[in-house]
Amino acid sequence: MTLAATAAPRASLPWLKLGAVAAALLAVTPLVAVALLAVFGQADAALSPALIARYALNSAVLAALVAIGAGTTGALAAWLVVMHRFPGRSVFAWTLALPLAAPAFALAYAYADLFDVAGPVRTALRDLIGTDVPLNLRSLPGAAFVLSAAFYPYVYLTARAAFVSGSVCALEAARTLGSSPRQAFLRVALPMARPAIAAGVALAVMETLADYGAVNFLSVQTLTTGVVRAWSVFGSAASAARLSLLLLGAAAVLLLVERLGRKGRGYNATSARWRALPTLELSGWRAGLATLYCLLLLTLGLLLPAGWLAHKALAAEPELPRLLAAAGRSFSLGLVGAAATVLLAALIAFGARGGRTISRLAGLGYATPGAVMAVGLLAPASLLWSAVPGAVAGVGAGLVLLVYAYAARLTAAALEPIDAGLARLTPSITRAARTLGETEAGAVRRVELPIARGALLTAGLLVFVDVLKELPATLILRPFNFDTLALLADNYASDERLGQAAWPALMIVLAALIPVIVLSRQIADSRPGAPR
C-alpha cells in the first residue's frame, strides 16, 4: 500500500485517469510480451533443463545468502543508530546509506582484485603465516558477500524508518516491566519492525536477482546471466523469455512480501504527538564496538572498494575520448530516463489517487530485473527495426526502447516519493482552490503540482541513479557501438583491464553520490511529528 492510499481519495480529471491507466499498461506490457514469447517462441536446445536448474539453484542460494547477510547487518545498524548514542552516530545515520551510490559490479571489481591470488590481501597473509589462504571471491559465497555489502542499505533504510516511527510508549512499557534494552529490542521493537525489515530484505533480494555485472564478473551463473547469455550467445529470445519467467515468478513473490511489509506499518504508533525516542548511552568498549561496526559496514560497502578502484585508476591512463563519450551517453540517458519515468509515475499518482490496482500493476516493473524487461521488448524492437530502414532504425528505435525499459522498470520506484508528497494534500486544499474559482485542471497545475514538486525531484534523482547503474537492459537493447559508463566498465573488466574499468565505475559512483547524500540526509533527519 502506498503512502498516498492513507489519505482520502480525491476526484481526478478523466484525462488523468486515462493517463494513469495508459502508464500502468506501458509498464506491464513488456512482462506480457515475455510470457507470450516464452509460450509461443522456439527455444534453443542448448539451454537444457539441467542447465536451467543450475541457474535457478544458484540464484536461489545467492538470494538466500544475501537475505541473511544484508538483513542481519542492515537491521542491526539501524537499531544501533536509532536507539543508542555513541561516537559518530549522527554521521553514520546518513552515511550508512551511501553504498547505494556504488553499483554492485564496482564492488565486485575491487574485491576480486583485492582477494586475487596475487592481490594484496592474500599476499600479505602468505607473508604473515607462510601459506596461502583460499579467499576466492570469484565464487557463490564471494558473490553473496559482495552483494550483501552493496545492498544492505535497503534493509538499513526500511528498518531505520520503522524504528524511528515506532511506538515510544511500547518501548517504555517494556522497560517499565523489567526488560533490558536487549530484551526490549527482541520482544517489542523487532516484532514491530519485522514487516519493514522483510520489505527491505525483499528489495535487496530483488536487486540480487536482477544483478548481472557483479555475478558475471565473479563467474557465478544465475538466471539473469542465463537470460543475457541466451540472447547474446545463442540468439534465442524464446529461451531468454523462458528463463525470464522464472525470474518473474520470483519477482512476484518478492513483490508480495514487500507489499505485506508495507501493510505492517499498522504496527506503528498512531499518535501524532512527537516524543523523543528513549536512547541508551553507550560507553567504553560498547561505544567503541558500535562505532567500529558502523564504520566497518560503510568501509566494506563503499570506502574500501572505491578507494581500491581509485588506486587502480591512478595507475592506468584512461582512454579519454571513449570515456567522455560514454559519460555523455550515460548522463543523457539518465536525464531522459528520469524525465520519462517521472512523467509515467506522476500520471499514475495524480490519476489513480487512492486506487491500488493501477499502482500495483506499475509495481510489477520494479520487481522485474532489467534483463527481463529487455527481453520483453525484443519482439517489438525487431518489428520496429524492420519497419524503419537504415541506421536510424537501429539507433533511434534502440534508444526509444532503452528509455522505455528504464521507465517500465523504475516507474514504481518513482511512484513512492510522489505518493508520499501527494499524501500532504487533503481534499480541503483542492476544494479551497475550486471555491476560489480554479478549474480541476487549474487546481492540479497551480496547487497540487507545486506542492508535489519536491517529491517529483526526489523521484527523478532516484531514477537517475538507477539508470546510471543499469547494465543488463542496456547491454541487450543498446544500439550498436553505443557504450554507457556501465557498459564500458563491463567491457574493460571482461578483458581484465581493471585499471581502465575503474575509471567509468568511479565516475558512476561520483555522479550518484550527490543525489544519494541529499536523499539519505533527508531520510536521516526525518521523524514523524518531530519539530523542524
- Cβ atoms within 10 Å of 399's Cβ, excluding its own: 18
- Cβ atoms within 10 Å of 266's Cβ, excluding its own: 9
- Has residue 90 been placed in a domain? yes
Identify the three-state secondary structure at position 85: strand
Q: Is 205 in contact with 254 (CB distance < 8 Å)?
A: yes
Is pLDDT of 104 > 80? yes
**Residue 348 belongs to what domain range?**
3-269+280-524
> How far apart (Å, rounded) are the C-alpha atoms in residues 345 and 343?
5
Reported residue count of the chain is: 532
Alpha carbon distances (Å) from 173 to 177, 185, 264: 6, 12, 21
pLDDT at 413 (0 to 100): 78
- Has residue 531 been placed in a domain? no
Alpha carbon distances (Å) from 193 to 157, 297, 381, 416: 12, 21, 44, 19
Alpha carbon distances (Å) from 265 to 140, 309, 440, 465: 35, 40, 32, 27
Q: What is the CATH number of the domain that holds 316?
A: 1.10.3720.10
Structure-model confidence comparison of residues 301 and 422, the more confident one:
301
Cell of 524: 536521516
For the chain, report the end-to-end CA distance as a whole number of angstroms. Answer: 27
| Averaged pLDDT, 211-230 | 90
Residue 337 CA from chain centroid, whole number: 15
pLDDT at 445 (0 to 100): 63
Is pLDDT of 244 > 80? yes
Least trusted range by pLDDT, from 88-102, 222-236, 270-284, 337-351 = 270-284
Structure-model confidence comparison of residues 47 and 336, the more confident one:
336
Alpha carbon distances (Å) from 521 to 240, 483, 528: 40, 33, 15
> How far apart (Å, rounded) are the C-alpha atoms in residues 183 and 523?
27
- Has residue 63 been placed in a domain? yes
pLDDT at 529 (0 to 100): 45
| Averaged pLDDT, 415-422 | 72
Taking only the tens place, the pLDDT of each residue in 161-204 is 777 765 555 655 655 666 666 666 666 666 677 777 888 888 89
| Averaged pLDDT, 85-96 | 91
Cell of 47: 539451454
Q: Is 122 in contact with 229 (CB distance < 8 Å)?
A: no
- Has residue 274 been placed in a domain? no
Mean pLDDT estimate for the chain: 79
Task: Cell 547503474: give the residue.
Answer: 469
Specify the pTM. 0.84
Cell of 125: 597473509
Identify the three-state secondary structure at position 78: helix
Alpha carbon distances (Å) from 270 to 166, 169, 431: 9, 11, 27
Q: Give the count of domains, the chain.
A: 1
Task: Cell 493501477: give the residue.
Answer: 358
> How far apart (Å, rounded) are the C-alpha atoms in residues 29 and 31?
5
pLDDT at 330 (0 to 100): 93
- Has residue 86 been placed in a domain? yes
Q: Is 512 in contact with 468 (CB distance < 8 Å)?
A: yes
* φ and ψ of 281, to 5 deg: -80, 120
> How far apart (Å, rounded) are the C-alpha atoms in residues 419 and 277?
27
> How far apart (Å, rounded) are the C-alpha atoms in residues 355 and 348?
9
Which of 194-226 are b and which e, b meaning 16 or more Cβ less than 10 Å from the residue's Cβ?
Answer: bbbbbbbbbbbbbbbbbbbbbbbbbebbbbbbb
Q: Is 483 left (phi over 0), alpha (psi -120 to 50) or beta?
A: beta
> How far apart (Å, rounded) are the C-alpha atoms in residues 16 and 35?
29
- Has residue 227 been placed in a domain? yes
- Has residue 529 been placed in a domain? no
Is pLDDT of 270 > 50? no
Q: What contacts 211, CB < 8 A, 6 or more positions away? A: 104, 105, 147, 222, 224
What is the torsional sign of CA 170, 175, 181, 187? negative
Residue 479 DSSP code: P
> How far apart (Å, rounded) are the C-alpha atoms in residues 195 and 330?
36
Alpha carbon distances (Å) from 264 to 36, 182, 417, 517: 35, 22, 19, 28
- Has residue 532 been placed in a domain? no
